Amino acid sequence: MDVSLCLPPSSSTMAGHFQTFTSTPRTFPKSVLRDINGNQVDVASLAEQYQLIVITLKASWCPVCPELLKILNVSGLRDDQDVYVDRFTHETTRMNPDTKKFNRLLLRHDAYFLIICPGPESELARIQRSVPFLSYPFICDTDLSLASDIRLRMSSDSDEIWPAILHIRPGGDLSVRAIWIGRVPGSYGQDALIEDLSTERFFVESRGVNAVRDAKQALHRLKRRAKKWERRPGGDVITHDMGLPHDTIPFSPPSTSTSTSAIASTSSTPPSPTAILTTPTTQTTIHSLPTELLFQILSCLPTALDTIRVAGTSRAWYLLACSVLSSQLRELVARVSPLLPKRDGNPVTVAQEVANTSLERPEEGGRPCGIRKLEARVLKLDETVGIVAKWDKGLGRRGGRELG
């Protein structure tokens, strides 16, 4: 076999084409597939849960393409394989234990793999067993429709696919980004894949380190604000110099009826929680409730922004809002901080220092935390910190309009 056929076009006559080969816009055509065992593969859901990686094999008879899968096994997917011997170059690769531990996190928990090959199914099953690569679905692209849609069919009259490593991004359009295209003995693309997965994890972890730092600063500012208003003399209603005047809070105006039920019955849409909490009848009733119960009520508001919007109602509500926001920030920090990298048992506090594969990556419930789960928590913390920071800087002076 001429293994050079596994390279993307690179001759002088194809140079212009090759320049854009890896950057060609691609979209994965199907959100649901069937693997060679008849199992449904929900591509859209997998892309939301993992770094969804597609590995294409040129053809079932190609001896080069399955080597990438064997290398991934040794790199971190399998604990019982630590040495890889290239059947073509005869080079031996031995995995460093620390490197393998980090790769295991990337390959097992951050990433998920789909293998696509022209078929036939019986040959794909043979490859899956012989590698082995049994934990991931193999998709038989018999008519090369998938390869054509993601622009990896070698030619219109070819029954072969360009060997590639692709990343399917989450979202409705399932856009596809090329990580590596081409595969020859000694060059399978595994280093590019590991680097890509590492870069994504380092980015999320560094963002988490910054979010935790900013949250702690926000907690300190909230504490100072609360102390200031506890000591402030005067009436109960907080005036304009507080930064969030009660008369400009952008909730829906209450009905002229003093009944909360009247509000609901005269409006085609239910009133917002903020509107209900700030009606005269509700205010009269609520102020007679214990502080602990009021804290629970404010804690049930959908977002930090909703909490801030009712903070301008009165001094008591303002202090409660500070307390609720502080509690929410502490809870979010507690969900993020334990999962961030540590050195000698101590959390890394400088974002740039997370790009180190030897750092400790803590587990949650005895299981490593995948990148998508960590990312969701970091984004929620970051969002809440951002809302509180804007309020603190006075950007919500017109009732939070800049915040919304």
Report the CATH number at residue 13. 3.40.30.10
| Mean pLDDT score, 54-58 | 98
| Mean pLDDT score, 190-210 | 98
Do 83 and 117 lie in one domain? The reply is yes
Do 301 and 337 lie in one domain? The reply is yes
**Residue 404 belongs to some domain of the structure:** no
- Rounded Cα distance between 291 and 228, Å, is 19
Domain end, chosen from 188, 215, 242, is at 188
Q: Exposed, middle or buried: residue 171 (CB in 10 Å: 0-12, 13-18, 19+)?
A: exposed
Do 102 and 162 lie in one domain? The reply is yes
Q: What is the pTM of this model?
A: 0.81
At residue 360, φ and ψ (nearest 5 deg) are -75, 130
235: left (phi over 0), alpha (psi -120 to 50) or beta: beta
| Mean pLDDT score, 360-385 | 96
pLDDT value for 393: 80
| DSSP code string of 46-94 | HHHHSEEEEEE-S-TT-SSTHHHHHHHIIIII-TT--EEE-TTT--EEE
pLDDT value for 255: 38
Do 208 and 180 lie in one domain? The reply is no
pLDDT exceeds 50 at position 404:
no
Classified as helix, coil or strand, 103 is helix
Which helix (H) or strand (E) segment holds residue 220: the answer is helix 190-231
Domain end, chosen from 188, 213, 245, is at 188
User: How many other C-beta atoms can be found within 10 angstroms of the C-beta atom of residue 283?
Assistant: 14
Do 84 and 230 lie in one domain? The reply is no
Higher pLDDT, 193 or 261: 193
List the structure tokens of 363. 């587990």
pLDDT value for 6: 63
List the structure tokens of 66. 């399955």
Do 113 and 70 lie in one domain? The reply is yes
pLDDT exceeds 90 at position 290:
no
**Residue 397 belongs to some domain of the structure:** no
Which helix (H) or strand (E) segment holds residue 403: the answer is none
**Residue 403 belongs to some domain of the structure:** no
Nearest partner of 304 among 282, 275, 324, judged by Cα: 324
Do 213 and 178 lie in one domain? The reply is no
CA angle 212, 374, 368 (to 5 degrees): 115
**Residue 182 belongs to some domain of the structure:** yes
Do 130 and 256 lie in one domain? The reply is no
| Mean pLDDT score, 18-28 | 71
- What's the DSSP call for residue 360? B
- What's the DSSP call for residue 349? -
Do 304 and 380 lie in one domain? The reply is yes
The boundaries of the domain holding residue 262 are: 202-392
**Residue 367 belongs to some domain of the structure:** yes
Nearest partner of 48 among 381, 348, 373, 286, judged by Cα: 373
Domain end, chosen from 157, 188, 219, is at 188
- What's the DSSP call for residue 287? T
**Residue 400 belongs to some domain of the structure:** no
pLDDT value for 256: 38
Please name the residues in contact with 147: beta carbons below 8 A apart, sequence gap of 6 or more: 56, 116, 118, 141, 153, 161, 162
**Residue 21 belongs to some domain of the structure:** yes
List the structure tokens of 151. 């622009």
- Which residues on adjacent β-strands are paired with residue 40? 34
Do 148 and 275 lie in one domain? The reply is no
pLDDT value for 1: 45
pLDDT band of 295, cuts 50, 70, 90: confident
Classified as helix, coil or strand, 333 is helix
Count of domains for the chain: 2
Do 230 and 111 lie in one domain? The reply is no
Residues 31 and 174 sit within 8 Å (Cβ to Cβ): yes
**Residue 368 belongs to some domain of the structure:** yes
Do 293 and 373 lie in one domain? The reply is yes
